[in-house]
Chains A and B, each alone.
Chain A
């Protein structure tokens, strides 16, 4: 790849997003724009000249357009990765409208609004690559995961349609579906369940649970020109979890 690439990452302050940002900044030909609510957890990243922190709460979907107009006015992106998301366990009887709106706002609506802006020629180059983090739970079901599964599944539908809309500009849109990865989101999930259950979940991953780096290498491939013929896809990366 020639020239500098600008990559926008949501959820840059934790888990996979943070690992991805940390990986990409090592390439001085990449300028990483990381969106997060607090710079507290990424002090090490702030020292990089090619890392720009955008302090922003993605729940404020209505302000995303202003974020582009104010902080990103002269930036044309080569890549976007939506790592921000929340996970929760709630039976259907407790999924009030407010509750479901919350998980959809962060997991889906913020991504759509970013993509609405990013898809303009002003903010993206031809040949750009957009990656959305879904989950194996986007295609599998589980009790207590109506919100999470529905929101992760929504990203898959979005991927397919948007991929077709943007092929004229050679922009690729893909999803990846990780299994259980060792991140703060997973650690929080594990705290909620009993030890036997935790062990069972780990054992259900034939190749063990994943590390952020495992997922980062796949995202790196999708962001690069090496994957220029890959679009509208959902790639599962789960240690064999979903094939059983």
Chain B
């Protein structure tokens, strides 16, 4: 998946106010809560067939770290 498209997808599906950059720390967003975390897990599963665990979510901070968890080879 194209990284730019991924950032747009995240913004739209997570219903975020501001644009995302790969350096944006997801956990520091106003909207971040347990429901958004759950939505993110579902999204990643749907788009990449990757199942993030609760422990994965714990260690994720920036969009970049999320990309690492999914697998950088899945992005262009």
Contacts and interface: CB of A to CB of B under 8 A. Distances in A.
Given A192-B41, A194-B57, A194-B58, A91 B51 contact: no
A132 to B, nearest CB: 27
Give the interface size bracket for B toward A: 10 to 19
Interface in B40-55: 41-43, 46, 51, 53-55
Contacts of B39: 91, 93-94
B38 interface: yes
A195 B35 contact: no
A195 B54 contact: yes
Contacts of B31: none
Contacts of A91: 35, 38-39, 42
| Residue with the highest number of chain B CB atoms closer than 10 Å, among A89, A192, A198 | A192
A143 B53 CA distance: 17
B54 A144 contact: no
Nearest to B57: A194
Nearest to A99: B46
| Residue with the highest number of chain A CB atoms closer than 10 Å, among B41, B43, B51 | B41
A90 B46 CA distance: 11
A25 B40 CA distance: 44
B55 A194 contact: yes
Given A89-B38, A143-B34, A143-B38, A94 B54 contact: no
Interface of B: 13, 34-35, 38-39, 41-43, 46, 51, 53-55, 57-58
6 interchain residue pairs of minimum CB distance: A194-B54, A193-B54, A94-B42, A90-B42, A144-B38, A91-B39
